[in-house]
Amino acid sequence: MKQSLTASALQDAGMSVGQVEQVLKLSQPQQRLVLGRYRQGLLVRVHRGQQQLYCTDFLIKQLQPGKDVSK
């Protein structure tokens, strides 16, 4: 049995109150479309964050004693 979307679950997913209100007014097919797009946006942000972590780790390693950072 499928559960309908709840405002709490949508907010837990990171949606603003305004976004939640808009999604809850949509039909189920429209909700699936909007949530799919929202998920894609989250993945883009996660991947961007991963790249930033990799760059930060690289910089930390470069600053370890014995590393010449001028190269």
pLDDT at 69 over 80: no
Helical H runs in the chain?
Answer: 7-12, 17-24, 28-62
- Domain membership of residue 68 (yes or no) is no
Residue 5: predicted pLDDT: 78
- Domain membership of residue 46 (yes or no) is yes
- The neighbour count for residue 23, using CB atoms within 10 Å, is 18
- Domain membership of residue 71 (yes or no) is no
pLDDT at 1 over 50: no
- Domain membership of residue 49 (yes or no) is yes
Domain holding 14, by residue range, is 7-62
Residue 66: predicted pLDDT: 81
**Total of domains in the chain:** 1
Long-range contacts for 14-19 (Cβ within 8 Å, ≥24 apart)?
14/42
In 3-state terms, what secondary structure has residue 54? helix
| Per-residue confidence band for 57, with pLDDT thresholds at 50, 70 and 90 | very high
pLDDT at 70 over 80: no
- Domain membership of residue 41 (yes or no) is yes
Q: How far apart are the first and last CA of the chain?
A: 61
- Domain membership of residue 21 (yes or no) is yes
